[in-house]
Structure 1
């Protein structure tokens, strides 16, 4: 490698921001995977050439600002829905979130300087990068959005094959492998050849798993996904609540009729997204009766707000054929700055806050089987989407991504569901108000999709689950252990140094 970068001072600072933003193009939905090695090389070289650890940390921070600001640009759309209240926040939406998590990228930039250049420095950089990236779950209620491992979620069969190792390594293990491979490409011909061979084996192993994995003999229900396409402004001002409710009822009736015409006796479950019901469903018996009638005897999962003893919850409620609520799941991981106000802000910026629920659970019901319910944000947490010791047969997450407009946000959100399916070996049902709604089978293949901005309904059988994956058994301990191993190996003395020490002792 060349030992210096051709820029210094403010030009270097600008280069680091641009390199981070350029690297964000590797994320879904663009998935320009080839840009990541180039972006990481700029950061790695700048870290090596920095005059001090402080300068290296600044390079890492600026790279992180560029990466996360570009990757989360769509957060600005959420502010636009309440621009009359939060107009002053618009310039700070994406950069503000980036400001909180970007310092983590300074860690590998500093730590890689502790070991000699070469493979040991690459091991330190990749291992420490993955460890601190995993630590994002500890910031407030957690924000592990856009890990580099999601870069492998290319569209189609190639992406399906590339993400199969997540069944063992999880998305964080994919991050570790991707950082190692990206930097290894610049270590000479042998290293490039090694990366190519490993990539072929990786891809081949993915295709082999897709062709040979066998689902369990479990029949999951037929899902009726209702996508009402209600804008966020309509949800907030509620001026068209009645018409929106009627739209959902109309689509529900159409979907359940279609499901019955498909034949067989497979149970049917209707699924409305987050904020699907424009009120408090548990307090509105008439609305529940109307929903039950539209569902034609099928159970219905409905997203609704809920109030209990002065506390407000974002909930998924199950309405049976008699219009009674038989199960309730309250969202347990809340969105910082969206559903609750972190302690770092000394003044109130939210019109109201929610209360987190008690945690993940599994519903075991005669009509819909064993299902793990989630609401929106919770699907992004690798290794934390299934109730411990109570594995379901399928996962459902309801969401309202109308906040983020027709941008990368909803597509990045959907991509997290694809990886959770592979990690857990469970089908994932993703019901979204404005789209994208979809179903993934237990190896992450998309079986059905309803695109952005459409008011429609899709009907599809939920695929069967697989046996528990290695990742589902051991979780994030696997990528964490591998990352720590890389860090420890970076301190291992080279063979040449060992020989030099032996020679010195003999001469002495």
Structure 2
């Protein structure tokens, strides 16, 4: 009788794969110096491919698990915190370089003036954000524990610094790990419980699970495969819970309130050209025509009608062309003269409604969370001295509004968000003034047909899920969408297509746990993860 070799057949191939995974993990943990930093850079690049438009969740798990193993090796370094910071910084640089490369496109809209700044911005932003990931890695190694507990310690340390990234210097909570799950409504449903920061903590535990049973050397044969199986199982549970929530009956639609979302698809150079403002206005108006059986809310994108309140002829056209029962919610720019005689400009949303004397701007919301360098210049005196300027079309930049508002234009009340403001969880409306829906106006034409506008849309979906409020989103070049209170797209227009969405306004859900308690559930989860992670025997770096 012939004896079948252990390495033959499917079983042998599976054993070779298992052994290969363990061996690769061991090699990663043994890297030192620049090879370790290069591997961390590659791991960060891989993890960033989990976000729109790729949604390669397996690469997020590969990237973060690789970083955990690299930190295992850093913990044995003669200077472990320094080695860990370096690995974390290179990971963060690669992660944010891929995640934010699209920022460079905005500098080429007015290339003759700003193109020279693009390489600086593309390198400087990831380099700065890498300080957060480097600090998180050093913190994780400082409190490292052996075995699976180190995954919880790592996730807790990382999320402490991610929370800081979302708040320091006005904050930039872009591409938080949990955002990778927003490619589908099901994957992001648990954000209703604990928000995007809590979802990100869960995502990091799941992503780090493949390294949970590995060490240097691996504790047992097949440790990598065991960790991958745990990661897959946890992912399945997360999505199963999401599908279960989506299966519950929803609140339905309003019978007497409708939205019309206008996507004009105007190239950015033409949008900011004052000579074309009249043409652009007529295009928006033409797309807005048509009756509706109830109260109609017409949404125009960010800066669709600059200085609209100062254009009586334009208001007269709106009086003639728009349905009487329509309220226009138009992205605009307004200005007011201060006591010092200087004009202050505001990036605004104008509420234009029918009055006894025709259509007038009856209310404004002024954007309060401005984009650094895009809408105002931090450290203005210093930076202007070295030749830097903001991208805003006004030399003075924009002034900040007083904060979130809840408005009423007849029918269900709403709270506006302008562009960048939709990336900040928990800052959608004034405390105690919950609206019935959210209005988001934006203009992502600055960033071309890149991942940036798609990532921005995912964050809009997260805000709807977190708050339990439907959102109508009007974007100049897309993607415009009507999103229900569970984050499902009722209707959506693709990027770089002209079009209109006409639909009944979805109803809100009751306030979600996140809407009630904010980041408190995340803080409790963070404390629990840290407590369990630190409960094992100490293994501190020298």
TM-score (norm 1): 0.90
Q: 1:275 is matched with which residue: 291, 303, 319? A: 303
Q: Which residue is 2:283 aligned to?
A: 247
Q: CA RMSD in A?
A: 2.0
Distance 1:272 1:9 in 2: 53
Give the conservation status (yes or no) of the 8 Å contact 2:93–2:127: yes
Q: Identify unmatched segments of 5+ residues in structure 1.
A: 498-508
Alpha carbons of structure 1 residues 394 and 9: separation in structure 2 relative to 1, 3 Å: same
Equivalences for residues 384-423 of structure 1 within 5 A: 384-423=427-466
Q: 1:43 is matched with which residue: 64, 67, 72? A: 67
Cα offset, 1:218, TM superposition: 5.4
Q: Which residue is 2:119 aligned to?
A: 91
Distance 1:472 1:220 in 2: 26
Distance 1:462 1:487 in 2: 43
Distance 1:292 1:423 in 2: 37
Alpha carbons of structure 1 residues 82 and 345: separation in structure 2 relative to 1, 3 Å: farther
Q: Which residue is 1:354 aligned to?
A: 398
Give the conservation status (yes or no) of the 8 Å contact 1:292–1:319: no
Distance 2:239 2:380 in 1: 44
Cα offset, 1:11, TM superposition: 3.0
Alpha carbons of structure 1 residues 220 and 380: separation in structure 2 relative to 1, 3 Å: farther
Q: Which residue is 1:424 aligned to?
A: 467
1:266 aligned to 2:298? no
Distance 1:94 1:468 in 2: 39
Q: Which residue is 2:154 aligned to?
A: 125
Once the two structures are overlaid, the 10-residue window that deviates more, 197-206 or 136-145, is 197-206
Cα offset, 1:7, TM superposition: 4.0
Distance 1:316 1:72 in 2: 27
Equivalences for residues 144-183 of structure 1 within 5 A: 144-154=173-183, 159-183=184-208
1:223 match: secondary structure: strand
Distance 2:368 2:249 in 1: 33
Q: Which residue is 1:363 aligned to?
A: 407
Cα offset, 1:123, TM superposition: 1.0
Once the two structures are overlaid, the 10-residue window that deviates more, 8-17 or 332-341, is 8-17
1:136 aligned to 2:172? no
Cα offset, 1:214, TM superposition: 3.6
1:308 aligned to 2:336? yes
Q: Which residue is 2:373 aligned to?
A: 337
Cα offset, 1:174, TM superposition: 1.4
Give the conservation status (yes or no) of the 8 Å contact 2:210–2:226: no
Give the conservation status (yes or no) of the 8 Å contact 2:165–2:171: yes
Alpha carbons of structure 1 residues 235 and 384: separation in structure 2 relative to 1, 3 Å: same
Q: Which residue is 2:42 aligned to?
A: 18
1:221 aligned to 2:249? no
Give the conservation status (yes or no) of the 8 Å contact 1:216–1:467: no
Distance 1:169 1:457 in 2: 34
1:202 aligned to 2:238? yes
1:319 aligned to 2:356? no
Give the conservation status (yes or no) of the 8 Å contact 2:470–2:485: yes
Cα offset, 1:247, TM superposition: 1.0
Cα offset, 1:190, TM superposition: 5.6
Alpha carbons of structure 1 residues 92 and 213: separation in structure 2 relative to 1, 3 Å: farther
Cα offset, 1:226, TM superposition: 1.1
Cα offset, 1:246, TM superposition: 1.3
Cα offset, 1:191, TM superposition: 4.8
Distance 2:266 2:307 in 1: 17
2:302 match: secondary structure: coil
Distance 2:429 2:399 in 1: 21
Distance 2:438 2:122 in 1: 30
Q: Which residue is 1:71 aligned to?
A: 99
Give the conservation status (yes or no) of the 8 Å contact 1:136–1:143: yes
Distance 2:439 2:256 in 1: 12
Give the conservation status (yes or no) of the 8 Å contact 1:230–1:433: yes
Q: Which residue is 2:312 aligned to?
A: 285
Q: Which residue is 2:7 aligned to?
A: none
